[in-house]
Amino acid sequence: MGGEQGLNPFSDMTVSHIQEIRDRLRRLGARPAHEQRILRLWAQAKPQDSGSRPLESFMPTALRNDLTQLSADLGGLLKLQSEHPAEDGSVRWLLALQDGQTVETVGLPRDGLCVSSQVGCAVGCVFCMTGRDGLIRQVGSAEIVAQVAFARLHRPVKKVVFMGMGEPAHNLDNVMEAIEVLGTVGNIGHKSLVFSTVGDPRVFERLPTGLVKPALAVSLHTTRADLRAQLLPRAPKMSPEELVDAAEVYARQTGYPIQYQWTLLDGVNDSEEELEGIVRLLKGKYALMNMIPYNAIDDLPFKRPSWERAAEIARTLHKRGILTKLRNSAGQDVEGGCGQLRARALKSTELHMPVRVQEAPLHFVKAKPATVL
């Protein structure tokens, strides 16, 4: 993988991991300072010849001669397939990786970015489009950072959330490697990096050991263990109580609250019983509850509650001592829910033949009818 060969994004030789980039640089004579400089300029979407010092004054000749090809190769880790700006200021990009697989990356209002960590997902949340075809492949650490570099060519990025396609806990090595780069040379504050998970014991073991300790978001969605097993059928078998207890330890270790994610599903998890359960689980915890009304998807039997009902739920929880924010999913007007852009592209072009995970028929047990408190 020398300078003259490069990293052709659609050749048989694909590079998707940051360590592979480091190995290439070292074979060209790079020292740690050179590696950090190159990774910094790449992650921040700046030209590799940036700076006031002449490159020949500090960079090995072989490495310097490879910079043009290297820049092209890093830029070729992914390419834009389609762009979907929304009225709320967000923009959704469908990005093609080196092997032709696609991921969704979302530019959020207020300089945020949502990145994908997997193509597909093995968790199989029944209300999510991404998991319908199961896990197709992992997204490499370099491909994750490349999503940030791509977005920075179009808009400022000061916060990165791992809430796109995939379950970061199932791609832990790549995600943690990307987080380390973004939280150091990538110029993203540690608590402006948000690791989102359905809950996995490996997360609570690994995150405290990282050089960069990101903020943590936990997909809770219900306080009922039986309902959680239906909504997230292949998530680790942690009860809501076990999940909150493990997350609370990390919150106290890092001095930063846990963001609990709750996708509001009309008539499913918006009952009085659930509100009581939230108060029981989170009262006194170092926590923030994010209530997100469901982004409706065709062919799925779930509905988005009215905004008035969602606002009433948030107000009720806030009055009862649970810090709650009501959030709208970005890109509602372009039907940009997680996995929807990719699904539409695959349906229209028939580029992909997924290996589907066999699922048993879903016999969904709804919660009690919602009651306005």
DSSP-assigned letter for residue 325: E
Q: Among residues 231, 239, 243, 251, which one has the least CA distance to residue 300?
A: 231
Q: What is the pLDDT at residue 39?
A: 98
Q: Report percent pLDDT > 90 for the chain.
A: 75
Q: Find the catalytic residue in 114, 121, 128, 338.
A: 338
pLDDT digits (tens, 9 = 90+) for 167-203: 999 999 999 999 999 999 999 999 999 999 999 999 9
Q: Among residues 338, 238, 247, 328, which one has the least CA distance to residue 291?
A: 328
Q: What is the pLDDT at residue 365?
A: 41
The label of the residue with tokens 């070729």 reads 76
Contact partners, residue 198, CB within 8 Å, separation at least 6: 123, 125, 167, 169, 218, 219, 232, 235, 236
Q: Report percent pLDDT > 70 for the chain.
A: 84
Residue 271: count of CB within 10 angstroms of its CB: 19
How far separated are the first and last CA of the chain, in Å rounded? 63
Amino acid at 358: Q
Query: Catalytic: 125?
Result: no
Residue with more model confidence, 127 or 42: 42
Q: What is the pLDDT of the chain when averaged over all its residues?
A: 87
- The pTM assigned to this predicted structure is 0.86
Q: Among residues 26, 31, 32, which one has the least CA distance to residue 1?
A: 26
pLDDT digits (tens, 9 = 90+) for 69-114: 999 999 999 999 999 999 989 999 999 999 999 999 999 999 999 9
Query: Catalytic: 338?
Result: yes
Q: Determine the number of helices (DSSP H) and then strands (DSSP E) in the chain.
A: 11, 12
pLDDT digits (tens, 9 = 90+) for 205-249: 999 999 999 999 999 999 999 999 999 999 999 999 999 999 999
CA dist 322 and 279 (Å) reads 7
- Which backbone phi and psi does 259 adopt, to 5 degrees? -95, 110
Q: Find the catalytic residue in 104, 143, 180, 274.
A: 104
Would you place residue 371 in the very low, low, confident or very high pLDDT band (cuts 50, 70, 90)?
A: very low
